Structure 1
Amino acid sequence: MTLSLRNSATEQTQNTLEELDFERTIGGLGSETDRKIPLIDLGDFETRRDEISRELWQAASEVGFFQLVNHGLETEEIRQAFRLSERFFQLPEQEKNRYALKKGQNAGWEFKSQVRPSTQTADQKESFQVTLPRMEGLWPDQVTLAEFQRIILDFEYKAWRLGMQVLSCFAEKLDFPRDFFALAHDRASEEYQSTLRLLHYLPLSKEALQDASLWRAGAHTDFDCLTMVFQREGQGGLQVCPGQDANKDGNGPAWTSVEPRDDIITCNIGDMLMRWSDDQLKSTLHRVRMPTPEEAGQPRYSMAFFCQANKSVTIQGPNGKYPPITAHDYLQQRIAANFSAEKKSD
């Protein structure tokens, strides 16, 4: 199947995405359980490509979540990006507001503005989103935050490169050309939509922890093809629930905590790739839990890179299970559902 690009809006015929209907049913505490999350070694990638591809496909089709080691990003580079992220979020609110989120553009700073369909309350976090073609006026200058733009852009490029390497394995398994997803996520294009998101989950008091309606990030699946999450050691909270366990035995989702390590990248399949694979690959439910009483008053930082196809790329699987839709229209529907919902609580 060749890569299809379209200038028209979309051939999509569904007004409501099935993914949104699913998210609206998964709020609530659920239970916790231990599971093994697949750990995949990317070392000696070209020599071991077939072996790695088999492991990635098995993890993505059975669990939807996996972790990468020997992935090519230096641990110190990841830590350096975290240090700059923390410095950005330490800026005064008035200063950060100069780089406010551009509506519908996935670029800029937001504070507690994301409302999950699963919870209908604002996530207890702030973020700074980097989407390359939309960053005009959104970078702190050298006086405000020295080297921020250079280092974060370099990190974004290395994350994109790794994402394309992983996606090339899925492309071949789907009988697409090896570079299919790299062309669909062309970083040089003005239609580029992939996003690096710096995240700061807010410190919360013990009193706030008593509010059962609040979440650092409510249960959700991601919009994209592939998400790569970078976590800081000692700052846990990410939890995963494979789709087949979302309502096991009718008792609600069963969640597994993902231990944070500086040298491991945690990945999950997003709804865009699940649709593109005709549901062969599984987009996995996940969330960031509220702090424990012992963690009250402590922040949590993470970074996520979202591989999101360029605007005019048409998403349709090899077997045509779903009607075609452009990546632009698909993302706009998902963004609208998460940033335009009426908040029940701040």
Structure 2
Amino acid sequence: MRSFRRNRLVVPALLCALTLLVTPPADASGDGKDSTDRNGGGTGGDLGLGAQVAQLYEDAALATQRYEAGRQQAEVQRAKAQRIETLLERERRQIGVLHEDLGRIARAQYRSSGGMPLTAQLILAKSPDQLMRGQHVFSQTNLAVNNAIEKNRRAEARLATDEAKAAAAWQILDKRNAELAELKKGIEQKLEAARWQLQGQAEASVAAGSCAGAIRLDQQQKDFTTEWVAPVESYELSAGFGSGGSRWANRHTGQDFAVPIGTPVRAVGDGRVARVSCGGAFGMEIVVRHADGYYTQYAHLASVAVDQGERVDTGQWIGQTGTTGNSTGPHLHFEVRVTAQMGSALDPVPWLAARGVQLG
């Protein structure tokens, strides 16, 4: 059980922490309706799904960031509260010692006749001075005791008030974190459903041997400071160039990036789309020709966001990952070639490294 005892100073800090969690992430309704795309692409349910998946990725990332920010802020406040709790425990011990001292004062006063009735003190006093001194000590002792008791009473009342405020603040914070966690879970569930719906549409296109056309994605403007980037932003490397096994007729001709279906795929550098195709071992794929004469291939996609012949910029979203064609699971197959055709592949890892992009 976590103690709700907190000092009054931590209560405003906790309430400030809640402001990080006030605005929830944008709600992705997932209604399947497509808005007008930036490049004049078609509209309709099929085209809207890819954009919906991309938006759900953004929503899930935003929800995660806000949840983590709230959680981290709560941990900071919890650490502060624990330090203050230590101080409060010391204060409580001091109050307990003072109570014991008050008991000893009362017992000593009684034993030294401090508790005798005034009449008895008048009779037993040997002189007026002795009587006055006794009365003065008695009055001062009573005053000190009463002041100490009142001080303790006020401190205990203030402590109880602060504990109640802190408990309420922690409950609000915990409730908001729970709401954010639930919201994040809901977005992720919508995203997972939309991913596989997108994959289903892609498989239908591959089976038909023709792509449905560019599915434009609403990418936020980003100014890249480098000429080259990795083909996906977040990833785990899986099968590498030259790998062997039953999955390939010969050796693996590219570098695989393990990512979920619908992950935006980026052009690694400026270039022009040399080919967009559906069908065959690579499923849905894009080949880009770069200014230095090299080609890059992006395969097993679930959607394409560019048309053949179109100019692309470094980091531009050109499609979304999937698991079409000869694929055992969601990933991006990325190749670097000397020509646009198979059989001229180079190892992508050192090729990108020579251009300032370190994978791993």
TM-score by length of 2: 0.24
Select the structure of larger CA radius of gyration. Answer: 2
Q: Which has the higher contact order (CA 8 A, sep 6+)?
A: 1
TM-score by length of 1: 0.25
Q: Which structure has greater helix proportion?
A: 2
